[in-house]
Structure 1
Amino acid sequence: MKEVIAEEVGKAIKNSLSGFIDKIQSTVLSLVEERVKRLEDNVNHVKEKSGERKGCSNKEFMACKLPIYNGEVEPIICQRWLSDVEGVFERTYCGVSEFVAYGTGQLRGQAKDWWDNKKKEIGAEAARAKTWDKFKEPFLKHHSPKAVINIIKEEFIQLRQRGETIDKITGILMDKLRFCDELVTTEEQKIYYYYNMLSDEYREFMTPSKYETLTEIINTAREREIELKKQIERGERRVVEVKPSHTKKARTTESVKKTDAKGGSPSCKVCGKGHKGECRFKDKSCPICGKTGHTTSLCPGKVSVCYKCYQPVHKKSECPDLVGKKDTKESPTETPKATDTSAKQLPV
């Protein structure tokens, strides 16, 4: 009986010991593999920092199907193309010395003509030695000039929803927002810019101060858009076709007087609109200058761009180029004064 018990106990110990050993081996192997992978990642990270990248072939680079840049003088298209190219540099671990050669291989049309002329200007040797950062400086100066960026800033400030869907108007705003870092420095300012851009049917159901991020107010606007569509389907709301307007006529003094004569409300000094009672924008800070007492449209710090010479500070009507032309066209002699017909003598 003792021999049988001893034999069974021995078998049990042997079986459990075998499984225990296998488990230990599996655990040790997984720890070793994880440690090796960490070491490889650290080595690659150090190589990246020191500029030593494993590189990639032209075939591997072209397999990423990068977009072509044709030389449009459009900051949004230009900088988006740069971002796409730099993303491929990172994903393929392209060698630093190959950045310019591979990147400029995607230039076509006027962009290629510009680069060909630049290479002739600096010489072939200097072009091959040029780093990506040094390439981007003249590239952005030519294809993303400050004058055009100033126009984008002006359009960003004046952007209003006029019939566009929420996704479309949000996309337009986000494209322009990347060029307005000095105008919009906080998440709160982004929220107020977005809120002021929306049409009345959205704003009347939203309070910008209750949102903490831009994503939150965008999602609320999307939910409101869905509800508006349901109201139209149920026949509770009519479809209003609004054609996007590129110009906004300012209210003249005469039009304000006519409104007052008809019994309308006077123009508010804070928001510029006619309403009764205290203005709801009175204590809200302006997203541009941070001060209270006015809205974005009436902000004294608002960016103004001349659409003649594309320079800030003055408007087209005040442009020195136009003023100079007007002065040359005018006659140097004084315009003769009109004679008083009543003083003429009647013939005798």
Structure 2
Amino acid sequence: MSKGSNNDPVPTSTEQMKEIIAEEVGKAIESSLSGFIDKIQGTVLSLVEERVKRLEDTVNLMKDKTGERKGCSYKEFMACKPPIYNGEVDPIICQRWISDVEGVFERTHCDVGDFVAYGTGQLRNQAKDWWDNKKKEMGAEAAKVMTWDEFKVPFLKHHNPKAVINRIKEEFIQLRQKGETIDKITGIFMDKLRFCDELVTTEEQKIYYYYNMLSAEYREFMTPSKYETLTEIINTAREREIELKKQVERGERRAHDVNPSPTKKARTGELGKKVDAKGRSPSCKVCGKGHKGECRFKDKPCPICNKTGHTASLCPGKVSVCYNCYQPGHKKSECPDLVGKRDAKESPAEAPKAKASSFQLTAAEAKTEPDVVSAIFTINSIPARVLFDTGRFTGNTA
């Protein structure tokens, strides 16, 4: 019989004993580690929460001491130099003012509740009068709680009349480049484009209107279908403008062909109309004849001076020869021999002038003559006495 009196199973080998011991040790270690980890997590979280609370208390204490307000002060707002609006009934100026003021709101981190107070502080003249009347109409308390979006509704309605916006849309459709630089005409185009959202809805339509607005010297080197954005065609127009200026500097193009002034272009147009009415082309500066296109004598040297730019008939070094006296220096029409004869024929002999006769009479004689009448006149600021005597006349100065 065995010594053990209990009913527990007795291990039969050393391997089984090792397995049992390892299992029991593992359970003990696992239970100890889980508790240790939980304790560490709890300690760390409590420390973090305490630190965050201290920081919040410090920030709140600093705000209480300094009296810090939410947003920016009016002084900080004015330091960014917000624009002034005088009340022009011009949608472009009005919209640009709103955009610029809202940009200052964003840069200064201005509080939303201060938008109306700060923004309306930049109104002047008629715009200020309108806002004063509007505040009286709605009441001071309602004006204080008004939001910026609520302010813009009556503001735009008054300063952006529908009739003026419709006129801008018509100007946008009819806009054409007439001597302006690319940057200037692009600025005009962009200003009017912002009011044509219903008319121009896609990037392709923007490119189309911009292309049609350009003058012929730009359009002939551009294809609108190959551009995907408006910026691409604008940059291409700028590159073309630079190339045109280089052609002028090289003498390949006349200066007035590149961005001519509106006044000069108008004169050119009037001259063209007169020429078309007469049915002939203007005289060429090279050959002196009327023709279209480039002159074929442009690059040919003159046979007299061997220089280009003119023909022999217009050469400044050409010597005229008279066909009457065959002497150089003048033409036949200017020949002294013919001019002298022509003047002699054209000037008839002058008729002899009648001689004037006068009858003089002294003052003493005039007194004795009863038929003599005496009068005093002023001739060239000199007083003169005139005596009239039955058909006789005399004049003596006093």
TM-score bracket relative to the smaller structure: 0.5 to 0.7
TM superposition outliers: structure 1 runs of 4+ over 4 Å: none
Q: Trace 1:222-233 onto structure 2 (pairs within 5 A).
A: 222-233=238-249
Equivalent positions of 1:77-226 (< 5 A) are 77-226=93-242
Please provide the CA RMSD for this pair.
2.3
Using the TM superposition, give the Cα deviation of residue 91 of structure 1 relative to its aligned residue in structure 2, in angstroms.
1.7
Question: What count of residue pairs does the alignment treat as equivalent?
Answer: 199
2:74 is aligned to 58
CA–CA distance in 1 between the matches of 2:117 and 2:109?
15
Partner of 1:243: 262
How far the C-alpha of 1:242 sits from its partner, in A, is 4.4
Q: Deviations over 1:297-326 (max 9, x none)?
A: xxxxxxxxxxxxxxxxxxxxxxxxxxxxxx
Tell me the distance in 1 between the aligned counterparts of 2:190 and 2:111.
Answer: 32
**1:271-290 mapped onto 2 (5 Å cutoff):** none
TM-score, normalization: structure 2? 0.48
Q: Could you say if the C-alpha distance between residues 244 and 71 of structure 1 is closer, same or farther in structure 2, counting changes exceeding 3 Å?
A: farther
Structure 2 residue identity aligned to 1:214: L
Shift of 1:123: 1.0
AA partner of residue 114 (structure 2): E
State the shift of 1:54 in Å: 2.9
- In our comparison, the structure showing a higher alpha carbon Rg is 2
Partner of 1:323: none
Instruction: Indicate how the Cα distance of structure 1 residues 77 and 219 shifts in structure 2: closer, same or farther if over 3 A, else same.
Output: same
Residues 30-78 of structure 1 deviation map (CA, whole Å, 9 limit, x = unaligned): xxxxxx9xxxxxxxxxxxxxxxx93111111110101110000011110
Amino acid at match of 1:129: V
| 1:96-132 CA-partner distances (Å, limit 9, x unpaired) | 1111100000000000000001111111111111111
Unaligned stretches of 5+ residues in structure 2: 1-51, 53-68, 267-272, 280-398
The letter for the 2-side match of 1:134 is E
Q: What secondary structure does 2:262 align onto?
A: coil
**Quick one: distance in 1 between partners of 2:255 and 2:248?**
7
Q: Report the TM-score, using the length of structure 1 for normalisation.
A: 0.55
For the 8 Å contact 1:156–1:173, the answer to whether it is kept is: yes
Higher relative contact order (CA 8 A, sep 6+): 1
Measured at CA, do residues 71 and 82 of structure 1 come closer, stay the same or move farther in structure 2, by a change above 3 Å?
same
Written as runs of structure 1 = structure 2, the 5 A alignment for 1:67-86 is: 67-86=83-102
2:83 maps to a residue whose letter is P
Q: 2:261 & 2:102 partners in 1: Cα distance? A: 40
Q: Give 1:243's aligned amino acid.
A: P
Instruction: Name the amino acid aligned to 1:175.
Output: D
